[in-house]
Structure 1
């Protein structure tokens, strides 16, 4: 049973990472001039979006 919980945690972490990478890439494409501060803000906002997307998918359940 612990194996399944560990596997679910890894799957959730992988999903969170995928969302974060995708949203960070989108931010960097849409911003006109990339400097360190904008990259940091974009990464932070992307993390918030990734957490929200992962939570929404978890709340909706899988079919």
Structure 2
């Protein structure tokens, strides 16, 4: 992997994580520490899944 590819991958994952994290907060009823940790973890898993799905569709 070139440094440019690594930078693009990190930026894409961070972008998905930033998009999915607030979505989790909107969908829950109470915001406490445990929910923030679970939401951040689920957003991270979702970001990797979204990147994998994009790569599978575009075949790059």
Task: Bin the TM-score by the shorter chain.
Answer: 0.7 to 0.9
Structure 1 residue runs without a partner (length 5+): none
Compute the TM-score of the two structures, normalised by the length of structure 2. 0.88
1:24 Cα offset (Å): 0.5
Deviating beyond 4 angstroms after TM superposition, the runs of 4 or more aligned structure 1 residues are none
Instruction: Tell me, in whole angstroms, the C-alpha distance in 1 between the residues paired with 2:44 and 2:22.
Output: 12
How far off is 1:52 after superposition? 0.4
Q: Indicate the structure (1 or 2) with the bigger Cα radius of gyration.
A: 1
- The separation in 2 between residues aligned to 1:34 and 1:26, in whole angstroms, is 13
Q: Which runs of 5+ in 2 are unaligned?
A: none
CA RMSD after TM alignment: 1.8
Which of 9, 12, 16 lines up with 1:19 in the alignment? Answer: 16
Q: Match for 1:56 among 31, 53, 57?
A: 53
